[in-house]
């Protein structure tokens, strides 16, 4: 091999090496880019999974609330009917027809109250209880006495009802003061 040839060969080899260096550099850049992209996607995946968990939880809670208070609207609308029946029950009757009619009303009232109870609706305790603005609405006051200490409910003017822990209608009461 002549010196010239050798030089050419050396140059060729050097060029190849340099090219390889360049290639390797670009590959290293690409590697870094891909690694960064993977980190980004990892983050997105984590977020997506967290979002799935959040949505699932939130929906379960919403469903439970909807389920728990599902009867609220209809129950509220039934309260005047219950009031009417209770008023009707206070009517005095004397003849057999009246007595029969009253029995029918009594049965109806009982079945309505049963239906409401099964759906989690109950009367708010009031008479003789301590006044609680969360459940009672004071519409009148009387002077407190030995039998009725201050802040005690002495009379219920209209019954209140609650659905589980939620007030459908507060009791309208007279409070000792």
55 contacts a copy of itself (rule: CB under 8 A) = yes
DSSP 125: P
CB 152 within 8 A of CB 128: yes
d(CA 147, CA 128): 10
CB 122 within 8 A of CB 166: no
When binding is defined by CB under 8 A, the residue of 15, 22, 61, 81 that contacts a copy of itself is 81
When binding is defined by CB under 8 A, the residue of 11, 57, 70, 164 that contacts a copy of itself is 70
Burial string for 35-68 (b: 16+ CB within 10 Å, else e) reads eeeeeeeeeeeeeeeeeeeeeeeeeeeeeeeeee
Q: Which of residues 33-52 bind a copy of itself (CB under 8 A)?
A: 34-35, 37-38, 41-42, 44-45, 48-49, 51-52
* Beta-strand relationship, 171-176 and 136-142: parallel
When binding is defined by CB under 8 A, the residue of 8, 22, 107, 139 that contacts a copy of itself is 107
d(CA 102, CA 38): 78
16 contacts a copy of itself (rule: CB under 8 A) = yes
Question: What's the closest the beta carbon of residue 107 comes to a copy of itself, in angstroms?
Answer: 5
**Which residues of this protein are in contact with a copy of itself, per CB under 8 A?**
1, 6, 9-10, 13, 16-17, 20-21, 23-24, 27-28, 30-31, 34-35, 37-38, 41-42, 44-45, 48-49, 51-52, 55-56, 59, 62-63, 66-67, 70-71, 73-75, 77-78, 80-81, 84-85, 87-88, 91-95, 97-98, 100-102, 104-105, 107-108, 111-112, 114-116, 118-119
């Amino acid at each position: 091999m002549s010196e010239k040839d050798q030089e050419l060969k050396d140059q060729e080899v050097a060029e190849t090496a340099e090219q390889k260096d360049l290639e390797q550099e670009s590959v290293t850049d690409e590697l870094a880019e891909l690694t960064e992209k993977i980190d980004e996607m990892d983050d997105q995946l984590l977020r997506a999974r967290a979002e799935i968990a959040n949505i699932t939880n939130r929906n379960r809670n919403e469903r439970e609330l909807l389920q728990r208070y599902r009867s609220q609207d209809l129950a509220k609308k039934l309260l005047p009917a219950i009031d009417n029946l209770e008023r009707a029950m206070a009517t005095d009757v004397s003849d057999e027809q009246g007595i029969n009619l009253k029995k029918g009303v009594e049965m109806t009232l009982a079945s309505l109250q049963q239906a409401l109870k099964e759906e989690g609706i109950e009367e708010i305790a009031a008479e003789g209880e301590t006044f609680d603005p969360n459940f009672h609405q004071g519409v009148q006051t009387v002077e407190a006495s030995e039998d009725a200490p201050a802040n005690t409910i002495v009379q219920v003017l209209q019954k209140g009802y609650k659905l589980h822990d939620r007030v459908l209608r507060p009791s309208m009461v007279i409070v000792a003061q």
